[in-house]
Structure 1
Amino acid sequence: IEEINTQFDYIIWKSLNNLPTLSTLQTELKDFFSPSQPIPLSTVIDYFRKFRCLVILDDVQDIFKTGELAGQYLPRYEDYSKFFKQIVTSNHQSCLILLSWTKPIEIANLEAENRPLQTLNLKGLGEEATEILREKGLTDEQQWLDLITRYQGHPVWLNLIASTILELFNGRVAQFLEDKNDIFIGELSPILESKLERLSDLEKQVISRLAHQQQVIDISQQLADREFSKTDLLQAIQSLVRRGLVEKISEGERSLFKLNPVFQQYIPNSIPSSNSN
């Protein structure tokens, strides 16, 4: 923020984890803007037009339903969709950043229209994550990048795993990584489960099948069977991609799909396979 604060008149961060209605959020934003104005403006978009504002909305996934396909708004929160569309389609000089586990449906649709918006899928920290391991006092530094890769550079995951390595292996990363084919889940379970709890029944069935596929898959060939209709399968995959649980990989002229490896390790023991019987 310090690097960009001179580029904006206002910078605001708000979390939606306490589920403010859109009306409440807009009132809070206007209350933040208005003290510096002799005559308060009527709407948030008016402030966006008159000033250069950066508004960051965190935990956007919390205003979506659980047990439904990705991006379905909770009752009384559907007007957020119209608000997000208005920000994208209106002329103004401000920026709105949405931080979410799940991409809103209207954002995905507006991207297809070449609107002035961009989705950034946050990747891991890469080599920068070595600072986490150094602060934890882990040894076998030559193995650190392998550990970071296994847990995708995710800072929360690495902090938890590093604590386990300290507790069980006296900080020796090499001993922890001896089994090359195993991804230890341990105390990551509650974090992973909180994501899986949001899935619809259809998504759970499809992701359970994906968890048993060892290679990237062509869904039109490898999962297209009597268990799922084509419509159900495509809807589920699209929803899982929007949640960041499944990655789309382009290979030649075909789109292939891959389940996040950490979830692939966890899911067989969490969601019963639909064809386990």
Structure 2
Amino acid sequence: MDDLENIFQFGNFPGQYLTEYKDSSKFFQQIANSYHQSCVILISWEKPADIETLENENQHTKTLHLQGLGEDAKAIFQEKDLKDDEKWEELITLYQGHPGWLNIITLAIKELFNGQVYQCLIDEDEVFLGDIEALLENHLERLSELEYHVINWLARQNEPIDILQKPTDLELSNARFIKVLQSLNRRCLVEKVLIEEKVKFKVNSLFRIYLNN
């Protein structure tokens, strides 16, 4: 089941089902707790809280955080006959090896630069997003007002922040701020990083670029 986030509410914390899809929670519980030889794969930008509960209760329910394609992404560039293969690694890193984003950028490079990658990467201070912007905006539109405030604040920070380093311009308890960070993390918009054995948080790099632009 792909794009599972579409059955969740906008403007609320992640994983809150739309009224017409509330029975999905019972459906997932039955799949997790019944004996069968099948495998159900749910693909989503948002992780439902009940799935996390099922993970703790059921050894057969697991979450896999999908990473970028890495070197395999070069197959996309080869298929589209992109030039400047010495720049492909930079392109993969910049767009996080995300196959959807790379396909969009590849088509734009073909359209605007006749397949010459170096022209797309010529300005180090700016990143071309093209039609990716609409996809990023779609994810941000799903946020609650509090989440949107916090992610904009996070995007302006030069370094990853400590879990208790909350915005000074917002009256927010530590517990509530942690809840918001957890929510943004479950949406895959915020990433955990380990710095000197201490967990800190930062905004996904492409979302950070978009928000700051």
TM-score between the two structures when normalised by the length of structure 2: 0.90
Query: Judging changes above 3 Å, is the alpha-carbon distance between structure 1 residues 85 and 250 closer, same or farther for their aligned structure 2 residues?
Result: farther
Return 126-135 or 80-89, whichever deviates more: 80-89
Unaligned regions of 5+ residues in structure 1, if any?
Answer: 1-56, 270-277
Matched, 1:179 2:130: no
1:94 match: secondary structure: coil
Matched, 1:75 2:22: no
How far apart are residue 76 of structure 1 and its match? 3.1
Match of 1:243? Answer: 187
TM-score between the two structures when normalised by the length of structure 1: 0.71
Do the aligned partners of 1:67 and 1:199 also contact (CA within 8 Å) in 2?
yes
Do the aligned partners of 2:32 and 2:58 also contact (CA within 8 Å) in 1?
no
- RMSD over aligned Cα atoms: 1.9
Once the two structures are superposed, residues 203-249 of structure 1 have per-residue CA deviations (whole angstroms, 9 ceiling, x without a partner) of 1001101111122221313x254613223211211111111111122
Match of 1:92? Answer: 36
Return 259-268 or 226-235, whichever deviates more: 226-235
Match of 1:263? Answer: 207
Q: Percent of counterpart pairs with the same letter?
A: 50
Match of 1:152? Answer: 96
**Counterpart Cα distance in 1 of 2:167 and 2:105:** 37
1:258 match: secondary structure: strand
Do the aligned partners of 1:202 and 1:232 also contact (CA within 8 Å) in 2?
no
Larger Cα-atom Rg:
1
Match of 1:16? Answer: none
Unaligned regions of 5+ residues in structure 2, if any?
Answer: none
Do the aligned partners of 1:245 and 1:260 also contact (CA within 8 Å) in 2?
yes
Q: Which has the higher contact order (CA 8 A, sep 6+)?
A: 2
Do the aligned partners of 1:129 and 1:148 also contact (CA within 8 Å) in 2?
yes
Match of 1:274? Answer: none
Matched, 1:168 2:112: yes
After TM superposition, list the pairs within 5 Å mapping 1:192-207 onto structure 2: 192-207=136-151
Once the two structures are superposed, residues 7-29 of structure 1 have per-residue CA deviations (whole angstroms, 9 ceiling, x without a partner) of xxxxxxxxxxxxxxxxxxxxxxx
**Counterpart Cα distance in 2 of 1:133 and 1:59:** 25
How far apart are residue 253 of structure 1 and its match? 4.4
* Number of residue equivalences: 212
Match of 2:53? Answer: 109
Match of 2:133? Answer: 189
Do the aligned partners of 1:89 and 1:115 also contact (CA within 8 Å) in 2?
no
Matched, 1:234 2:178: yes
